[in-house]
Amino acid sequence: MLPTDRVGLAIVYAIEGKIVYAEGFGYADLENKEPMTSNHMMRIASISKEMTDAAISLLVANGKLSVNDRLFGKGGLLENDYKGTQDPEKNRYLHMVTIEHC
């Protein structure tokens, strides 16, 4: 919490859906000195990048994805979600992006 000047932090760790550790640190409301608990709701903030990376790494390790899988364009993992761009030069490069690039 110190490097980012956060006043509160909640951690919940689960294994196979069962909570094995839950703890609050600091304050949920500093002004009113309300202690943080693991039951407080909050944003996951920038940690989502690390969670996405861990999930993709597991999928690659389990053979569900390859680091060479393309993301955009025909046959890409996001083929149906990708709307494209009117710029053919940008489309050309976007169609080359793989999981490894991300």
Structure tokens at 10: 């909640």
Give per-residue pLDDT as tens, 17-27: 899 999 999 99
Give per-residue pLDDT as tens, 73-86: 888 888 877 776 77
- Going by the DSSP 8-state scheme, the letter that residue 36 receives in this structure is P
Question: What residue numbers bound the domain in which 89 lies?
Answer: 44-102
Q: How many domains does the chain divide into?
A: 2
On whether both 78 and 35 belong to a single domain, the answer is: no
On whether both 37 and 48 belong to a single domain, the answer is: no
In Å, what is the CA distance from 31 to each residue of 13, 27, 40, 47, 86?
A: 28, 9, 16, 26, 51
pTM above 0.75, yes or no: no
On whether both 23 and 52 belong to a single domain, the answer is: no
Query: So which residues are the catalytic ones?
Result: 46
On whether both 56 and 74 belong to a single domain, the answer is: yes
